[in-house]
Amino acid sequence: MDDVRLAAWLRLERTSGIGPRTACKLLDAFGCAEATFEASCDELAAVIGPALVRSLKAPMSRDTQQLIEATLHWRAQPGHHVLALGEPGYPALLAHIPDPPLLLYINGRAELLDAPMLAMVGSRNASVQGKANALAFAEALSGAGLCIVSGLALGIDAAAHEGALKGGGSTVAVTGTGPDLVYPARNRALCERIAAEGCIVSEYPVGTRPLPGNFPKRNRIISGLAAGVLVVEAAAQSGSLITARQAAEQGRDVFAIPGSIHAALAKGCHILIREGAKLVDTAADVLEAMAWSPLVRAPAAAVAAKRPGEAVPDGSEALLAALGHDPVEPDMLIASMNISPALLSSQLLALELAGLLERRPGGRVQRVVK
């Protein structure tokens, strides 16, 4: 797409009253953005109402001119691309959702957008176990040849991206800001890795700040790019449930990892399973449900139980066994194990330092399986 065509696309997208559906009607009628602006008022009026005709024929605003200049400057940098709906390179799966973005801003390997993808989403305030699960599943699924798409948020998203890169495949991050910004800033190093080895995607123009409404809207792109969505860990009111339900509406597979009945961050996954999501507890379950033949051998189970005695601090074996896999209050451990508070505290600390335990809200503790 040359500079003239890109400028026309940007002008069309910025025209007051022109949303994706109206834009698609205009593109169907006139073939491209430039031809839309070259059409006569009568020709336009046959497709859209008179108010929108006036908007299209109005002089271009200074803000739009500045955006065009900024976008052309951004696109001129290595690895930067802008893809338009209906033009070569635009991802085929995404083009067929009900409200595809008119423009996609790409930083990295644009060819990945037509690779076989699985979306992985979950809580920003994830547990240690949830992040470990996300990393392990993503590593296995990436190793099997799937590209992992997620939203670059803290928690499950970041772990999924990390696992995908570790697995030797690749990953796509869909952001809720302009392509020139990184949010959250704590993921800057990860963002740079994804831009170099994978792909970062945004529908938002250069300079767009991380407004709260951007993130729920971008979720349709995460699900729209993928053949399925795996929810790793989510609360009952999590935005991940929105992504999963959008995926179902788009005809995608929905998978969910179950958790403890006592864990708040498992409630969302349990809701989805009751609504028809496929329960999975290994990467192999996902691959089988998708009828995906691995390009390389993936682990039969993405999350394996900790082997007895493996890296367990001396003297803490009995406590680790007593912890089980549900969050538990220390007082219950004291009563059930007949152990002193001081000894329990020291053993809990040893397990936490070994990465085998995490502290949960309300003073409870929970075993971590790696």
Domain segments of the chain as ranges:
1-76, 110-289, 317-367
Range in 2-11, 208-217, 237-246, 337-346 the model is least confident about: 337-346
Q: How far apart are the C-alpha atoms of 325 and 272, rounded to whole Å?
A: 21
For residue 236, what are its two tokens? 């009952």
- 226-276: pLDDT as tens digits: 999 999 999 999 889 999 999 999 999 999 999 988 888 999 999 999 999
Residue 318: what pLDDT?
Answer: 85
More confident residue, 106 or 368: 106
Q: What's the pTM value of the predicted model, to 2 decimals?
A: 0.82
- 18-58: pLDDT as tens digits: 888 898 889 899 988 999 999 999 999 999 989 899 999 99
Residue-averaged pLDDT of the chain: 90
pLDDT tier at 325 (50, 70, 90 boundaries)?
Answer: confident
What DSSP state is assigned to residue 264? G
The SS3 call for residue 365 is strand
Residue 281 CA, distance from chain mean position: 20
Residue 64 near residue 6, CB atoms below 8 Å: no
DSSP β-ladder status, 171-174 and 199-202: parallel
Residue 294: what pLDDT?
Answer: 64
DSSP β-ladder status, 228-231 and 103-108: unpaired
Q: How far apart are the C-alpha atoms of 37 and 6, rounded to whole Å?
A: 13
DSSP 81-145: EEEETTSTTS-HHHHTSSS--SEEEEEE-GGGGGS-EEEEE--TT--HHHHHHHHHHHHHHHHTT
- 159-208: pLDDT as tens digits: 999 999 999 889 999 999 999 999 999 999 999 999 999 999 999 999 99
Residue 211: what pLDDT?
Answer: 95
Residue 242 near residue 121, CB atoms below 8 Å: no
Range in 86-95, 191-200, 204-213, 313-322 the model is least confident about: 313-322
Closest CA to 200 of 184, 220, 224, 182: 182
What is the share, in percent, of the chain residues with pLDDT greater than 70? 95
Return the CATH fold of 1-76: DNA polymerase; domain 1 (1.10.150)
Return the CATH fold of 110-289: Rossmann fold (3.40.50)
Residue 308: what pLDDT?
Answer: 39
Using the CB atoms, write b or e for 112-133: b if 16+ within 10 Å: bbebebbbbbbbeebbbbbbbb
Residue 299: what pLDDT?
Answer: 43
Dihedrals phi, psi of 81, to nearest 5 degrees: -140, 155
**Per this entry, what is the length of the chain?**
370
Architecture of the domain made up of 317-367 = Orthogonal Bundle (1.10)
DSSP 23-79: HHHHHHHHSSHHHHHHS-HHHHHTTS-HHHHHHHHSPPPHHHHHHHHHHHHHHTSTT
The SS3 call for residue 366 is strand
